[in-house]
Amino acid sequence: MMIEARRLLEWHQAKEKRQAVQKELDKLRAREEELAARRQEAEAKIRRIGEPSPDDIDGQIELKLAQQELWLVNKDTERFMEEKFEKEFALMETRREWEEKAAEREASLSPEALALYHRIRENISNPVVEVRRRSCMGCFLPLSVAKMEEWHKGKSLVTCDECGRILV
């Protein structure tokens, strides 16, 4: 009901969305590092084997296997780079959009609202929730009549008596 509570919720959601996008970007980076490590390992193995003499059958087999692994890693890397090329730019764009939205929302919030949010956030991951069917959507318990009245008036931020979340 209260506009500031709504803005708090939108700010919180924008931060969460930004974080989800960041996770996707981190995953791409981790995959790239994993492939680079595999490639280095395969290359090191080939160097270690060197050039086995033609009658060193075990050495020849070992070399073939190492070369095959390097070929596979290169194929996987090629495929991954295409995927990365497609995804990374879009993800970075989306991250920037959510960052902008979060910054814009944050600038519109009062220091009191931010302080309250951060205090609740220490223990609760979603400090701002909506009211539906006269209930808090954080703990799903019904709100008292007095609480509903306070919330309807919308003069200040209202928190749930049961769980302490800010009610929108």
| Residue numbers at the binding site for Zn ion (CB under 5 A) | 136, 138-139, 160, 162-163
CB atoms within 10 A of CB 101: 17
CA distances from 164 to 68, 130, 134, 167 (A): 60, 13, 16, 9
Nearer to Zn ion, 49 or 139 (CB): 139
Residue 137: φ, ψ to 5°: -85, 10
Nearer to Zn ion, 52 or 164 (CB): 164
Query: Angle 17-20-21 (CA atoms, 0-180°, nearest 5)?
Result: 90
Beta strands in 111-167 (DSSP E): 128-129, 131-132, 135-136, 166-167
CB of 96 to Zn ion, least distance (A): 34
CB of 163 to Zn ion, least distance (A): 3
CB of 162 to Zn ion, least distance (A): 5
* C-alpha–C-alpha distance, residues 152 and 137, integer Å: 16
Nearer to Zn ion, 35 or 136 (CB): 136
Nearer to Zn ion, 94 or 126 (CB): 126
Nearer to Zn ion, 63 or 163 (CB): 163
The answer to whether the Cα torsion of 146, 151, 156, 162 is positive or negative is positive
Query: Position of tokens 């969460």?
Result: 16
